[in-house]
Structure 1
Amino acid sequence: MSAVLQAEALSRVFPSPSGDVVAVRDAELSVRAGELVVLAGRSGAGKTTLLTMLGGLDRPTSGRVLVDGADLADASTDVAALRGARIASIFQTSGLIPVLSAAENVEVPLRIRRVAPAERDRRVADALRDVGLAEHARQRPGELSGGQQQRVGIARALVMAPGILLADEPTAQLDSETGAQIMELIARLVHENGTAAIVATHDAAMAARADRVLELHDGVLRDRLG
């Protein structure tokens, strides 16, 4: 199966008065549909920088990112449209809109894409059911636990059925038990939906749920063996 997301010789250098800081150095990776890749490494290793480049939110200093074969740096590529249609992100905090209900938060990307109301309702209901929150659709974020809020964030990320999911430390703000539940949920949905996913985490226990583990060390990406 061909890769959905690829990085070729990807590097990101940040200039500073004391000298250039190499956050990512010549990274190579390839992720297929339905594959869950854990990106491990200590804080400051370059995980977030790599994810932002893979998601088209930051331009590499050198190298390139391919999404479904399209080069994000190519002038002919509509990166914003590609991101909206194919890439979803989950962050450390859910980023929910406080005044909206769980269902309304999940509905936001569907409204942006102008999905028809009946189809919006169906997709939102399905997404909340998938994350185990069907009975909490009308509750606002302040009425939900941290784990439930993160589940709403996952539902919102997946409601557009993206081909690629990028998650940056999605369990960092949660206790270990809730974090494990969130990772199990992400793994199940990725495999069921055939999504290509990269989940950045410094928690070694999370690697057990991955199809493959990559590790960043001082900006250098490598396969973790064993």
Structure 2
Amino acid sequence: MSALRGRGLTRVYPSTAGDVTAIADIDIDIDAGELVVVRGASGAGKTTLLNLLGALDRPTAGTVWFDDVEATELDEDTLARVRRERLGFVFQSFGLIPVLSAAENVELPLRIARVPAAERDARVTDALRLVGLAGHAQQRPGELSGGQQQRVGIARAIVGRPRVLIADEPTAQLDSRTAASVIELIGELVHGEGIAAIVATHDPLVVQRADRIVELHDGRAAPTTVIESATT
């Protein structure tokens, strides 16, 4: 069973000029230990697809499943809990709180989930170790490089031990060398920790590390290659 899957995903936004279809009738499966890249031109629907798969938005039509749980049937409170327990999110803007240390930023989702203090400390230490920042736990975001800040963001995303990692343009604000190290890290986490990951990107470095590629054109998956092997 796939860790994350969508069936017939469609999202239509009303506007004064008429309905706008952001994505239409997309099927997708992502397995544990697999890195899937979504690529396409600006406006192709990449972020919309990730928002639906991450249950940050509800589809106009179609269903999203986290393992055996149909997310689109859940009420908002249950959905928030399931999302917190099963998903981790990485954003291009890092999204760190400036007044908190790296460790405190990583710890925040565990506090929200009311994880006991001793377990929080152990998980934060382990997450920072996995992203190579064990020695930077007490530094604030302003004292870290852009690449280090994104690594803190990744640590925060994985500290809850998610089944699925969702990343929207995670290298957009990084130089090529730093971006390469961040993508290497994501690949290692996916294949080493057995996390299922879906990444929206224009970055060819990310595409090179993908196990599979989803091509979007005007909100639709490519007609003959809904999911195309990255090695072909």
Q: Which bin holds the TM-score, normalised by the shorter protein?
A: over 0.9
SS where residue 73 of structure 2 aligns?
coil
Superimposed CA distance per residue, residues 167-193 of structure 1 (whole angstroms, 9 cap, x where no aligned partner): 000000111111111111011011111
- Report deviation, 1:6: 0.8
What is the TM-score normalised by the length of structure 2? 0.93
After superposing the two structures, state which structure 1 stretch, 16-25 or 191-200, moved more. Answer: 16-25
Q: Are 2:187 and 2:209, in contact at CA under 8 Å, matched by a contact in 1?
A: yes
TM-superposed CA distance for 1:19, in Å, is 2.3
CA offset at residue 40 of structure 1?
Answer: 1.0
Which ranges of structure 2 fall in alignment gaps of 5 or more residues?
Answer: none
Map of 1:115 onto structure 2:
115
Shift in Å at residue 223 of structure 1?
2.1
- Kindly indicate whether the alpha-carbon contact (under 8 Å) linking 1:87 and 1:165 is maintained by their aligned counterparts in 2: yes
Q: Is the 8 A contact 2:164 2:195 kept in 1?
A: yes
1:224 deviates by 3.3
| Alpha-carbon contact 1:40-1:204 (below 8 Å) kept | no
Q: 2:68 and 2:167 mapped to 1: Cα distance?
A: 21
What is the DSSP-based 3-state SS (H/G/I as helix, E as strand, rest coil) of the residue aligned with 1:97? coil
Name 2:55's counterpart in structure 1.
56
* Contiguous gaps of at least 5 residues in structure 1: none
SS in structure 1 of the partner of residue 172 of structure 2: coil
2:99 is matched with 99
CA RMSD of aligned residues (A): 1.3
Task: Tell me, in whole angstroms, the C-alpha distance in 2 between the residues paired with 1:57 and 1:97.
Answer: 21
C-alpha deviations, 1:80-105, integer Å up to 9, x for none? 11101101110011111100100111
CA–CA separation in structure 1 for the residues paired with 2:8 and 2:219? 12
Task: Return the offset for 1:204.
Answer: 2.7
1:68 aligns to what? 67
**Aligned AA (1:21):** V
d(CA) in 2 for partners of 1:84, 1:48: 19
Residue aligning to 2:219: 219
List structure 1 segments (4+ residues) > 3 angstroms apart after TM superposition.
none
8 Å CA contact 2:183–2:205 kept in 1: the answer is no
TM-score by length of 1: 0.96
Q: Which moved more, 1:196-205 or 1:136-145?
A: 196-205
Q: Does residue 16 of structure 2 align to residue 17 of structure 1?
A: yes
The alpha-carbon deviation at position 21 of structure 1 amounts to 1.4
Distance (Å, rounded) in 2 between the aligned partners of 1:151 and 1:177: 14
- What are the residue-to-residue correspondences of 1:205-216 with 2, within 5 Å? 205-216=205-216
- Where do residues 1-226 of structure 1 align in structure 2 (5 Å cutoff)? 2-75=1-74, 78-221=78-221, 222-224=226-228, 226=232
Give the count of matched residue pairs. 225
Contact 2:52/2:58 (CA < 8 Å) preserved in 1? Answer: yes
